[in-house]
């Protein structure tokens, strides 16, 4: 097995709270294994441009609790081209990188696969607030984003209750409803709209508000994953159907910021540690994940082929919490 002397670490795609904790873990584990660690700034684009910073133990001090990523992040068009990837390989050669740890989501890992095919060992660490990476049951940032959204919605509820209003809250999740559903359960939403559940507007929104009103409630909380459609439009449709005037809130990028929770700091630290161990032990082309709390490792290609589905029992539980046996859809 070739000895690894120097590795690179980068963050790519949408940022997520806990990315810094992962960068810190990668750096300090590498140093403890006698390797040098180079931070690649601005994701895959940084690898193409040779945009780097040397990391030592001190340079990753006091970042465990910080949101965002000290390495910056980007989505790179150039890396999607053969020419761009060849430039990235050239940077690895020039800097003497024997491997790279790439922290991000599925898009990042598709890049990792391409780079590994060109002979650079890459290990992926899943980090996205969407939690939509198939090979792991958890991605860094999800818990923090859920808690941020919950804190905001709890505040909204106070004013919705005082004014006896309906709130439509849009949370992130272009393709996945994990965030919306978890948050919806945690705030006791009247209805939750996710891309994975085909929407029957009358049944899933209008009837639920109506039943809630009949049960004595005078304020309503509708949580919408952005992938379902515009919260503003949903608000308008509610107004047309029921004659009430919903207030619309788009939580947007607020959900991606803030100090990571204990779960994200701890998971990021373990994943970062095992990513470096995998490189050190010659298992270069894999993605680190968690299953039932433990760390797992899968070859990148296999990992990318895995699908993760929203647990629809949770959808049913969310429905049940509002109205007991009123629920119409089967689990
Ligand atoms: O990080 C994933 C995600 O939060 C998606 O839910 C969302 O659609 C997307 O990022 C938006 O990111 P940006 O505005 O940075 O393109």
What residue's CA is closest to ligand 1, atom 12? Answer: 14
Q: Quick one: pLDDT at residue 331?
A: 44
Residue 225's H or E segment, with its range, is strand 220-225
Give the mutation target among 73, 103, 105, 174 for probing the ligand 1 site: most ligand atoms within 8 A of CB.
174
What lies within 8 Å, CB to CB, of 90 at 6+ separation is none
What residue's CA is closest to ligand 1, atom 4? Answer: 172
What residue's CA is closest to ligand 1, atom 16? Answer: 14
What residue's CA is closest to ligand 1, atom 1? Answer: 14
Q: How far is residue 245's CA from residue 153's CA, in Å, rounded to a whole number?
A: 18
**Contact predicate 300/109, CB 8 Å:** yes
The three-class DSSP label of residue 63 is coil
Centre of ligand 1 from the C-alpha of residue 291, in Å? 25
State the sign of the Cα–Cα–Cα–Cα dihedral 309, 269, 85, 7: negative
Helices (H), 243-311: 262-280, 300-305
Q: Residue written as tokens 């049951």?
A: 137
Residue 36's H or E segment, with its range, is strand 36-40
pLDDT in tens, the chain (331 residues): 568 999 999 999 999 999 999 999 999 999 999 999 999 999 999 999 999 999 999 999 999 999 999 999 999 999 999 999 999 999 999 999 999 999 999 999 999 999 999 999 999 999 999 999 999 999 999 999 999 999 999 999 999 999 999 999 999 999 999 999 999 999 999 999 999 999 999 999 999 999 999 999 999 999 999 999 999 999 999 999 999 999 999 999 999 999 999 999 999 999 999 999 999 999 999 999 999 889 999 999 999 999 999 999 999 999 999 865 444 544 4
Q: Quick one: pLDDT at residue 330?
A: 45
Q: Quick one: pLDDT at residue 1?
A: 59
Residue 174 near ligand 1, beta carbon < 6 Å: yes
Residue 128 near ligand 1, beta carbon < 6 Å: yes
Instruction: Give the closest residue to 187 by CA, choosing from 321, 70, 97, 77.
Output: 321
Centre of ligand 1 from the C-alpha of residue 4, in Å? 34
Burial class of residue 197 in the structure, from the number of CB atoms within 10 Å of its CB (0-12 exposed, 13-18 middle, 19+ buried): middle
Centre of ligand 1 from the C-alpha of residue 265, in Å? 21
Residue 141 near ligand 1, beta carbon < 6 Å: no
- Show which residues are catalytic: 130
Report field, pTM of the whole predicted structure over 0.85:
yes
Q: How far is residue 231's CA from residue 228's CA, in Å, rounded to a whole number?
A: 9
């Amino acid at each position: 097995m070739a000895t690894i002397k120097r590795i690179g670490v980068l963050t790519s795609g949408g940022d997520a709270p806990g990315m810094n904790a992962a960068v810190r873990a990668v750096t300090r584990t590498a140093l403890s294994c006698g390797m040098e660690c180079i931070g690649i700034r601005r994701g895959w684009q940084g690898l193409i441009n040779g945009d780097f910073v040397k990391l030592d133990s001190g340079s990753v001090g006091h970042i465990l609790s910080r949101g965002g990523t000290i390495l910056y992040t980007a989505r790179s068009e150039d890396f999607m081209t053969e020419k761009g990837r060849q430039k990235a390989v050239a940077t690895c050669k020039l800097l003497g990188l024997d491997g790279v740890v790439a922290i991000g989501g599925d898009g990042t890992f598709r890049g990792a696969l391409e780079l590994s095919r060109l002979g650079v060992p890459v290990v992926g660490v899943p980090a996205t607030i969407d939690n939509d990476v198939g090979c792991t049951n958890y991605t860094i940032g999800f818990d923090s984003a859920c808690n941020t959204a919950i804190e905001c919605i709890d505040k909204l509820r106070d004013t919705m209750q005082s004014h006896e209003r309906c709130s439509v809250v849009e949370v992130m999740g272009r393709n996945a409803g994990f965030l919306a559903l978890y948050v919806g359960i945690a705030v006791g939403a009247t209805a939750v709209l996710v891309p994975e559940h085909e929407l029957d507007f009358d049944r899933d929104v209008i009837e639920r508000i109506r039943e809630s009103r009949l049960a004595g409630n005078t304020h309503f909380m509708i949580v919408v994953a952005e992938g379902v459609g515009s919260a503003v439009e949903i608000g308008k449709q509610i107004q047309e159907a029921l004659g009430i005037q919903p207030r619309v809130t788009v939580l947007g990028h607020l959900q991606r910021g803030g100090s990571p929770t204990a779960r994200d700091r701890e998971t990021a630290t373990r994943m970062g540690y095992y990513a470096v161990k995998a490189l050190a032990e010659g298992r270069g082309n894999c993605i680190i994940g968690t299953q039932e709390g433990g760390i797992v490792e899968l070859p990148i290609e296999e990992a990318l082929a895995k699908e993760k589905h929203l647990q629809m029992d949770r959808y049913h539980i969310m429905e049940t919490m509002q109205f007991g046996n009123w629920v119409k859809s089967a689990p």
